[in-house]
Every structure is written in C-alpha cells, then in structure tokens.
Structure 1
Amino acid sequence: MNAFPWGFQGNGLAESSYQLASEYAKERLQGRAASGPKLTDKAADFPNLVHADVRRMLLTMRANTIAGRALSLYSAFQLDIARFHPDQAERIRADQLVSLLVFPGQKAYCTDRGFESCVLGQQVLGGHGYIAEWGLEQNVRDARISQIYEGANGIQALDLMGRKTVRNNGKLLGILFKEMEGFIASNKDIEALAEGLTKLESLMGELKQATNTVIENAKDNPDEIGAASYPYMELMGLTLFCFMWQRIFASVHLVKANNDSSENYLNGLLGSGEFFMNRLLPKSKTLLEEIEAGSKSLMAIPADQF
C-alpha cells in the first residue's frame, strides 16, 4: 500500500491549483465586449471567468478533483473493510477491490489528473502561472514527481492490464462491476439519477468490451498487453470517476430531499458533475478505439527508425 498516499497528493495539489486559478480568473480583467467597451475606465471589460475556454479549464480541474477526492475516500473505506471487517469473505472482497482502486485509480489516474489540473491552473494564469510567487509552478513540479515514484504510472498501467486483468481473465473487474451494479440497482428508481446511471452502464460496457478484446488478442500476441495498458488504465480511471460522480449525485439528491440549506454548494456540485458527464466522459470512445487498434502500429517500426 506504499502507493496509496500519492493519489491524495495528486488531489491535494489539484485542489490548491484550482483555488488559486479560480480566484485569479474572477479578478483578472481581460478582453472587450464585442459591441464595444463597457468599462471605459478599466483596461478591459471582463473578468477571465466569462471566457468559455477559461471555464473549460477550471471545470476540468474541479470535476476531476472532486471525483478524485471521492475515489480516495471510497478507497480508504474499502481498505478499512479489508483490514477490519469481522467477515472474512468481506475482507477478501474488499482487498481484491482495493487492488484495483488504489493502484490504477489512486496512484496512476489521480496523479495524472492532478498534474493535468496543475498545468491547467498555470495556463489560466498565463505568464503569471510561470512565476514562483504565485505557487503554481511549484505545484506543477510537485505533481509531476507523483507520476514517477512508487511505481511509474506506465508500470502501474501494465500491472493492471497484465497481472490484474489478462492473467486472471478479468476476475477483478467482475468484482468492481458487482459493486457498480449493486449501486445502480439501489438507485434505479430515482428519476433524477436515471441519465447518469445509464451513462455509467454504457461506460461499463465499453470497459468490458476493451477487456475482452485485449484478453482475446493477447493469446496470440503478448505485445497487445503493453500496447493497450495505458489507454486501458485511463478508461478504468474514467469509469471509476463516473461511478464516483453517480455516488455524489445520489448524496446530493438525498440532502436536497431533506431540505438542506446548502443550496448554492449543492448546485455547484451538480454543475461540475454535469460538466464531467457531458464534456469529459465522451473521451471513453477514443480510448476504446485506441485499445482496439492493437499493437501493430506500435511494434512495426524498426528500432533504427527511432
């Protein structure tokens, strides 16, 4: 479990970068209205936050960071079950689940998304993001090392694809799917969750299709495992984040049903989740296509042509 904390590091640096970048975007004036200057006494009319691409970067940071934090807590909960539950069968189930949640999810996917968020935060600040006094350039460096130590993320992806998936014929994935299917069954009658649950089921189908493709192709060509490993890890991570967002949606629905007063915060969560489902989740199609492309174009080029 040495790799367990690094997902928290990725999430923490991403959150720090988001807070810095979002405050900057709300204060920094940049750009004029298309219809002509509005704030004639100012250098510009708009805070950066009104620009769609700035919002894209901030919402990508926020949506992934929230899901990553939820995955970290869910992983810690399963780790507690694996260690302390009185039922041995439950301990075994949770331990097997943790082997998927912690290493491809926590160690690799959360640190990848953490680094991405730090770089996006730097981009929101423009040139200021490259200056030490703002702190974002330090976040970028600190996030980058988390992708390398305690097992580089490429090695984590190869372990997921080879040892944890192909070697045991997808058994661990079946345990994860059982968790997801149980959640879907428990919430299928809640109308507000229906669209998200349908998308989660579709994503599970894509992950299952990718798994079966690699298992079958690897029988004749072991290079298929290495060729598919990184996009497969990303597809797994995207599926886990989607699962976390459905759990968040369910919690928000429950809190709203009890007339909680935190309306603005809850609506912010829903907005971030909707962005994830509409703008980030479609990347699964590209990942599946990349996995199914196989190893040919990767391995065909002779070494002396590099």
Structure 2
Amino acid sequence: MRTIITGAGGMLAGAVIAACRRNGHETLALSRTDLDISDADAVDAAFDRIMPDAVLNCAAYTDVDGAEVDEERCFAANATGVKNLAESALRVGAKLITVSTDYVFGGEKSDHYVESDAPNPLGVYARSKVEGETLALNANPDCIVVRSGWIFGPGGTNFLSMIPLLLADGRQIKVISDAFGTPTYAKDLAQRMLELASSPGAGIVHAANAGGGTSFSEFAMRVCEIGRFDKSLVTPVTFASLARPAPRPRSSKLASMREDELGLHPMPKWESAVERFVEIVRAG
C-alpha cells in the first residue's frame, strides 16, 4: 500500500511512519515544508505525482490557547486543509484517515462520549476541528475521521508526554485532579489508523486506549508508580485554578460504539500503554 503521511516531524506522525514501515507499506512522509495542506493546488499536485492508496493526516494546528488569537491559521490547517485532502483523496481513489479531537465536545457528559454524540466545541481550536470533520465528510463520504485525545508518546512535547521526563529530572509539577479524559498512546493510535485505512468503514470513529478514562493527576501518579518517581513531586490542583486563554471541556472521555461493526479489537488499556511509554523514557 502506497501511503502518504502528512504532518511529518510531529509525535503522532512519527508513530504512524514507524507503524507503516513495520507493516510493509510504501511510505511517503510529508512535513509542512514538503506540503502545505491549506494550499489546494499543492495538495492536488502532490496526489497526482504520488498517486497514494491511503492518506493518513497527522498535520494540524494544535496550540489550543494560541488558536484564540490565531484563528485564521488554525482554521487553514484544521478545516480548509482537511477539506483539501478529502477532495484530492476522493479524486485519486485514496482512503483518507484524518485525526480529530475529544475537544469537539463541551464536557457536559459525565459518561464517555460516543460517535453519535453531538459536538459542542468551546473554543477556536475545537470549532476548527468540528469544521474540519464536517468539510471532510461532506467532500468525501468514504473518508474516516478518527477522534482521539490526550495523546502521548516518545518525542511528544505536550504535557502528558513530558510528565516522565519532568519527574525523572526531579521537577515539581502541578496536575489537574478534576478534569477527565482517555489517554491515548501514539503508537496504539497509529496502529488503529492503519487498521482503519484497510477497512471499508467511513465516517467518525473514536480511538483511545481502553481502561475507563482517568484524570491528569491519576495519570501522573501511575507514571510515578511505574517509573518509581517521587510522588511528592506531583501537586494536584483544580481545573478552575489554572486560568488559560482557551476554554476546555472538563470531561472528554471517549468510547467507540463501532469496533464490532468495523471488526476492530479494543485498544490496549491506558495503564499498560503508560508502562510501555515509561520503559522507553527510562531506557533513554
């Protein structure tokens, strides 16, 4: 399978590239320098040149707070860019898998959000992702939108990915104790994306590690237990105490109602994913 991976250089794209190569795919990884997905002509030209069988889109504007003052760039990547990929993929007969976010939900639901739940985006970033979902599916009904959240893994610069490194360095960290989500290991998400690229499915699919979800503070404590780090370095704080420019859902736990339909096994539990991640971090 000839596969284009956009967003090369990022954590998730790195995991997807590795998964593709393990599975024997002919892999073409494109960074933003190689391909600006917001440029429709550039996307068309790249697809005409490469003629992919599948496109795994990991390109995105992910600065949730920065999006509040940079709406144009955010929507260019997360909405217009995704639409361009969807249209070009349909034209050349490629399967598009594009990644969205748990932040499309507003956090009103205490239980897990499933694919049929209506989005309620709270900020610019979240609105851009909802718009991208809508544009992609309208342009290309055969594509798959993979909603995920709390993604962590080697090479990541987000907070969850940095927790083991900070603790190993003896750094004090403040961690929210009353916000909840479903951690997702980048390597597990990459494998799920490959499975979906080979499936006849379409539409929205939720993909997150199993295990029922957790809080940021419980995640950090699990890292401490596995890595034998000092738990006193972790200070629990409340969701309300950390004032940030962009609103965020207080609970955005994801579950999928489509695994049986698509012939997918449940993803590994997040606790075991953390074990695998910490082992890699400790190995250097």
TM-score, normalising length: structure 1: 0.26
Query: Which protein shows a greater Rg?
Result: 1
TM-score, normalising length: structure 2: 0.27
Which is richer in strand? 2
Which is richer in helix? 1
